[in-house]
Chain A
């Protein structure tokens, strides 16, 4: 009696092996592994690049999920080959791998990507349609925040305002904490770490939905920026010396400055860079206009489009944008496949 299960198992195993064999025969090359980025702009960029690589160059691709840090580590070990949106120089893991020559950042994919402190526009201007009064009519810059801690009241310590910082562990969390000190707001505002990107998004969206005031750190390209009318608070112009005091958490006397303009690029592993020079050349040209990207992201988020569909729509709608990245015959192949 015992033989039958063994026989069955062998049969299943043989079938399994045979099927992998045939797949391997069909497709001799191993696919290029992209990091499956969870946030929207990263997901959209990933799919745009995958479409171009698959349709234009004919290489198979695949995605593997993971957190940012684990993807960066995987890239350094060449378990992943491409991370489509890398905020270069922001993560210690990335900086170390880049210095060791294990990973490379290509191009400057989204120019004018920005980060800063935002409030919904109705906090300043009001919204007659929703019957919302302007609660902070004179709020323009970070200095004006001193007058309005009560507007952004923190339920956990009601005598202070709440500033929604990014999750602890992000580089921006250090910068924002230092900025609070630099702008003289640390006594009036609670430096509230949101714990995770999902929690930050949920809190902001809930506040906007209910028409409540909220003060938060955010960045673009993101669906949130494309979707809602938000006001970015003015900060002193960028100054490299002041920026150095903001990025060092031990500096007790930070000075205010806008954040360093973020540089988004495509991260690739050293092996990928050697193996696919034509893709490296194309990736280095990638340039996504931020306003169109924000709009595409907002649409994708609102209609809950899968990133793949959104990427196809983006490529269809903006041929002039991506045709500049690749040679003409590749562009023709991609266009035919859309």
Chain B
């Protein structure tokens, strides 16, 4: 079966991994579940907050935000209309669930990704270690790590956030690092000779200069987070992905297309708003 490769050179570590996962579940399963419950509270309360708001208020807020970002009335109206369209397709509730998931995972991405990117830019050794890890995060098929994560943290939203975090983090880290490394070092030296300490140099010079690049990374992260929505629904997270999945599984192509386009619409809204903020900072 294994072609011409000599059998003496073959080995498998599958059994060891299985035993490790089993052992982790047995010894740390309950403990990790209580940790995951805390994260879950955050998600559920954000979701409930979104759900408590009447639909027109959500639309108005998005419209306002879009206008504030783009300073263009037609664009703000267009983006609001896109969300309205999702609601008219009967997907409002699922839209809110997906939005909550994407907001929380993107928030965590920023919390982890930006500091990590800054660190990578200044420490070449860390960079050499972390870069391959980022490659793994982007290419390892999601289910490979999802099933163990699921066994440890429970079914539903929490493993979905983990999966999204793992997949959506690398572009933010890479682009933050790129932005930091492209800063002219003489600027930082000048600030240093004027008496700015490391934190001041980072906050007032490096970060603002790298911001366009960071915003581009954030934008990519959001897009990738949205593309993970279907995978998230495969591990019991509710939302738009659930409809895509159900559509695929029952050969109901129409339902799948409706929900799929709703994901695209949501992506466009978030993309245009975050891009506009990024560009304003640049100008």
Contacts and interface: CB of A to CB of B under 8 A. Distances in A.
Q: Which interface class (under 10, 10 to 19, 20 to 34, 35 or more) fits A?
A: 20 to 34
A150 interface: no
A206 to B, nearest CB: 4
Given A193-B238, A210-B26, A203 B249 contact: no
Interface stretch (B178-186, B229-237, B261-269): B229-237
Interface in A24-48: none
Interface string A190-213: 001111101100110110011010
B89 interface: no
A156 B156 contact: yes
A67, A194, A202, A210: which has the most chain B beta carbons within 10 Å? A202
Interface in B128-168: 143, 146-147, 150-152, 154-157
B251 A194 contact: no
A227 to B, nearest CB: 14
Contact of B249 (A69, A198, A206): A69
Given A93-B251, A199-B236, A155 B37 contact: yes
Contacts of B234: 167, 195-196, 198-199
B235 A199 contact: yes
A196 B235 contact: yes
B248 interface: yes
Query: From DSSP, what is the main secondary structure of chain B's interface residues?
Result: helix
Given A206-B25, A210-B25, A156 B157 contact: yes
B228 to A, nearest CB: 13
B245 interface: yes
A33 B251 CA distance: 22
Contacts of B237: 195
B147 A198 contact: yes
Interface in B237-281: 237-238, 242, 245-252
A155 B14 CA distance: 32
A238 interface: no
B134 to A, nearest CB: 26
A122 B131 CA distance: 47
Nearest to A209: B25
B258 to A, nearest CB: 14
A250 interface: no
Given A198-B147, A203-B154, A209-B26, A69 B251 contact: yes
B22 interface: yes
Nearest to B29: A210
Interface in B14-70: 14-15, 18, 22, 25-26, 29-30, 33, 36-37, 40, 44
Contacts, number: 99
Contacts of A168: 242, 245-246, 249
Contacts of A209: 22, 25-26, 29, 151
Interface string A144-159: 0000000000011100
A338 to B, nearest CB: 18
A203 B159 CA distance: 12
Contacts of A196: 234-235, 245
A92 B250 contact: yes
Contacts of B233: 195
A112 interface: no
A319 B147 CA distance: 37
A73 B26 CA distance: 41
A206 B238 contact: no
Contact of A304 (B18, B29, B242, B249): B18
A6 to B, nearest CB: 28
Interface of A: 67-69, 73, 91-93, 155-157, 164, 167-170, 192-196, 198-199, 202-203, 205-206, 209-210, 212, 304
Given A68-B249, A203-B150, A209-B22, 11 more contacts: A92-B251, A92-B252, A156-B40, A157-B44, A168-B245, A192-B236, A195-B242, A196-B235, A198-B147, A199-B234, A206-B151
22 contacts: A67-B248, A68-B249, A91-B250, A92-B251, A155-B36, A155-B40, A157-B44, A167-B245, A169-B248, A192-B156, A193-B238, A194-B155, A194-B236, A195-B155, A195-B233, A196-B234, A198-B234, A199-B235, A202-B150, A206-B150, A209-B151, A304-B18
